[in-house]
């Protein structure tokens, strides 16, 4: 059996391939984040076996504890449940000397400090990077910020709505439906995307530390992370200098490329390649549509793709969703029913893969947990402790 070993401070960590020990065993994370951006990052680290101690303000804790209706206890809302499993909660008032000293004790032995407090406040508390590296030179300091700290927005506050507005995301729906009102995408998408970036940056910094023995400062700005995410396809013609077309990916902002109506709901059918069009209209029992000169060859179909989508919408209304699903899958056409959020617990594929797990919480009773989506051939993801009550770890001995 192959053996791996590395030093963490004065300790030698030894692991064996296939021993199913937590992948990030021995990695200690101090988490001074709230809402979604930072906690989503540290949730992924906890899922992989890191020891995460969540620092919260006494009395109110992470503001996301109050998102949604709790089952029993105040401050234990469903949003908090989704991204705080497996963490310890320590309630500390960092303006008080004793609590700040306990925080510093945690950081002396930590591998990562993940924080989304703005820089000036951290300096006042003595929790800035320079101060902490004086007590822990190998610390990885992951600063989750709203905007890159070398730009004019460095000190501004940032939340998901603000970043959707600043990144151009709030202009996407008007491009699709012609309604000129700017609108947010109905998801905390900027927070979540930035959290993913923070997690993989933290993991890269861990690998770097294992290889070199050095910690470092890591800055993860939500604005830059989400702007890159949105403009991946939507930079469009602005990619070139000079531009050769407007911004926006035409396929994504096409008003006709939407779920198609059926007699009992809606369905998504994606004829992604030109070779799919004959299959689509054969399934819909209307192959003659492609005899129209507007759709007679690939170039014409590309130029008149909105007309093809409108023909599809006219025809799909004559079928049930299930009929079309069976026909499309038999013809090797990508298709799925449009499901309502309230129906997701009954989704058959998710049920078969065990995506939702039934758990029990000491105060909230039964609840459902969404498992991490990835799997490993040489490692089984552990079942983590439920999300913590505020200050649940305060009576424990200092240190994770």
pLDDT attached to residue 374: 87
pLDDT, tens digit, 9 for 90 and up, residues 64-88: 999 999 999 999 999 999 999 999 9
Q: At what angle do helices 305-316 and 276-283 cross, to 10 degrees?
A: 20
Q: How does residue 398 score in pLDDT terms, banded at 50, 70 and 90?
A: low
Domain assignment present for residue 241? The answer is: no
How long is the chain? Answer: 400
Query: Residue 23 is encoded by which pair of tokens?
Result: 């992948």
Domain assignment present for residue 354? The answer is: no
Query: Residue 57 is encoded by which pair of tokens?
Result: 């303000």
pLDDT attached to residue 13: 60
Query: Residue 261 is encoded by which pair of tokens?
Result: 């109506």
Higher pLDDT: 4 or 224? It is 224
The arithmetic mean of pLDDT across residues 232-260, rounded, is 96
Tally of structural domains, the chain: 2
pLDDT, tens digit, 9 for 90 and up, residues 98-111: 999 999 999 999 99
The arithmetic mean of pLDDT across residues 159-164, rounded, is 98
pLDDT, tens digit, 9 for 90 and up, residues 247-305: 999 999 999 999 999 999 999 999 999 999 999 999 999 999 999 999 999 999 999 99
Do 191 and 268 sit in the same domain of this protein?
A: no
Rounded to whole angstroms, the Cα distance separating 147 from 29 reads 23
Percent of the chain predicted with pLDDT > 70: 94
Res. 156: pLDDT tops 90: yes
pLDDT attached to residue 381: 84
Do 226 and 329 sit in the same domain of this protein?
A: no
Domain assignment present for residue 324? The answer is: yes
Do 60 and 161 sit in the same domain of this protein?
A: yes
Rounded to whole angstroms, the Cα distance separating 242 from 230 reads 21
pLDDT attached to residue 377: 85
Res. 173: pLDDT tops 60: yes
Domain assignment present for residue 202? The answer is: yes
pLDDT attached to residue 21: 83
Domain assignment present for residue 352? The answer is: no
Query: Residue 187 is encoded by which pair of tokens?
Result: 């998801």
Res. 360: pLDDT tops 60: yes
Average predicted confidence (pLDDT) for the chain: 94
Res. 18: pLDDT tops 80: no
Do 168 and 54 sit in the same domain of this protein?
A: yes
Q: Are the beta carbons of 91 and 57 closer than 8 angstroms?
A: yes
Q: Kindly provide the residue ranges of all beta strands, DSSP E only, lying in the chain, ordered along the sequence.
A: 3-8, 11-16, 28-32, 51-56, 87-91, 112-115, 140-145, 216-221, 260-261, 266-269, 335-337, 356-361, 365-370
The arithmetic mean of pLDDT across residues 40-58, rounded, is 97
Domain assignment present for residue 254? The answer is: no
Helix/strand/coil for 47: helix
Rounded to whole angstroms, the Cα distance separating 294 from 306 reads 11
Task: State how far Cα 98 lies from the chain centre.
Answer: 35
Domain assignment present for residue 247? The answer is: no
Res. 16: pLDDT tops 70: no
Domain that holds residue 103: 3-230+359-370
pLDDT, tens digit, 9 for 90 and up, residues 83-141: 999 999 999 999 999 999 999 999 999 999 999 999 899 999 999 999 999 999 999 99
From residue 201, give the alpha-carbon distance in Å to each of 48, 108, 216, 229.
15, 21, 11, 15
- pTM of this structure: 0.91
Q: How does residue 170 score in pLDDT terms, banded at 50, 70 and 90?
A: very high
Do 27 and 116 sit in the same domain of this protein?
A: yes
Percent of the chain predicted with pLDDT > 90: 90
Res. 399: pLDDT tops 80: no
Do 151 and 268 sit in the same domain of this protein?
A: no
Do 77 and 167 sit in the same domain of this protein?
A: yes
Long-range pairs, 12-20, Cβ under 8 A, ≥24: 17/378, 18/378, 20/379, 20/380
Do 200 and 268 sit in the same domain of this protein?
A: no
Domain assignment present for residue 146? The answer is: yes
Do 186 and 311 sit in the same domain of this protein?
A: no
pLDDT, tens digit, 9 for 90 and up, residues 193-218: 999 999 999 999 999 999 999 999 99
Do 312 and 364 sit in the same domain of this protein?
A: no
Res. 46: pLDDT tops 50: yes
Rounded to whole angstroms, the Cα distance separating 271 from 97 reads 63
- CATH number of the domain that residue 33 is part of: 3.40.50.10540
């Amino acid at each position: 059996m192959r053996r791996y070993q590395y030093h963490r401070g004065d300790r030698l960590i030894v692991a064996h391939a296939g021993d199913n020990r937590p992948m990030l065993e021995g990695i200690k994370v101090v988490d001074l984040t709230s809402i979604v951006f930072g906690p989503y990052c540290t949730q992924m680290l906890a899922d992989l076996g890191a020891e995460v101690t969540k620092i919260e303000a006494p009395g109110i804790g992470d503001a996301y504890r109050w998102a949604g209706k709790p089952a029993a206890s105040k401050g234990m809302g469903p949003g908090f449940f989704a991204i705080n499993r497996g963490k310890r909660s320590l309630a500390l008032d960092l303006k008080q000397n004793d609590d700040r000293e306990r925080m510093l004790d945690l950081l002396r032995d930590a591998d990562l400090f993940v924080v989304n407090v703005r820089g000036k406040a951290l300096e006042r508390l003595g929790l800035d990077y320079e101060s902490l590296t004086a007590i822990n030179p190998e610390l990885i300091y992951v600063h989750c910020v709203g905007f890159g700290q070398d730009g004019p927005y460095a000190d501004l506050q940032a939340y998901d709505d603000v970043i959707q507005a600043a990144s151009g995301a709030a202009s996407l729906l008007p491009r699709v439906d012609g309604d000129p009102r700017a609108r947010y995408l109905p998801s905390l998408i900027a927070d979540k995307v930035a959290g993913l970036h923070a997690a993989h940056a933290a993991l890269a910094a861990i690998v770097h530390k294992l290889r070199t023995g050095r910690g470092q400062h890591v800055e993860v700005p939500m604005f830059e992370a989400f702007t890159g995410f949105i403009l991946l396809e939507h930079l469009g013609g602005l990619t070139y200098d000079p531009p050769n077309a407007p911004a926006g990916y035409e396929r994504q902002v096409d008003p006709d490329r939407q779920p198609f109506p059926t007699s009992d709901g809606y369905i998504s059918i994606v004829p992604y390649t030109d070779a799919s069009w004959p299959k689509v209209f054969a399934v819909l029992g209307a192959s003659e549509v492609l005899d129209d000169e507007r759709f007679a060859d690939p170039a014409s179909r590309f130029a008149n793709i909105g007309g093809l989508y409108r023909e599809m919408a006219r025809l799909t209304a004559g079928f049930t969703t299930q009929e079309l699903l069976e026909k499309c899958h038999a013809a090797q056409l990508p298709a799925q029913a449009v499901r309502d959020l309230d129906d997701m617990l009954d989704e058959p594929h998710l049920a078969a893969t065990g995506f939702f797990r039934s758990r029990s919480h000491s105060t909230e009773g039964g609840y459902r947990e969404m498992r991490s989506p990835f799997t490993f051939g040489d490692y089984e993801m552990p079942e983590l402790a439920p999300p913590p009550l505020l200050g649940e770890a305060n009576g424990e001995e200092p240190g994770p």
